[in-house]
Structure 1
Amino acid sequence: MPDRAVIIDEYGHAWQKSAYLGFWYRAFDGDGISAFELAQRAGKPRQVSP
């Protein structure tokens, strides 16, 4: 997946791929933005199956 890609896991948590070193981190928001809205801001949301 490309850098800064956002995925939403089965629990509704958003994860974003780092532009550095290629690792994933939990995307937190302090503004009350839902994981779905965060994914929309990062690009077209898509479902990823395990």
Structure 2
Amino acid sequence: MTTPTQPSAAPTRRVRRNIARRLARAALFAAVRGVAYAAGATTVTVIIWWISNR
């Protein structure tokens, strides 16, 4: 007869580490996306200003 095995604490730590990594990657992606948006908006504004004042 087999006895049910209890899950060890290691998978829980692994899951938490994976969740933390996924959240960190999502935060980094959001930050890079925000910087790209700001740079693009600034570039378009400067181009419009330059054309209108040329």
TM-score when scaled to structure 2?
0.15
Would you tell me which structure has more strand in proportion to its own residues?
A: 1
Would you tell me which structure has more helix in proportion to its own residues?
A: 2
| Higher RCO structure (Cα 8 Å, ≥6 apart) | 1
Q: Which has the larger radius of gyration?
A: 2
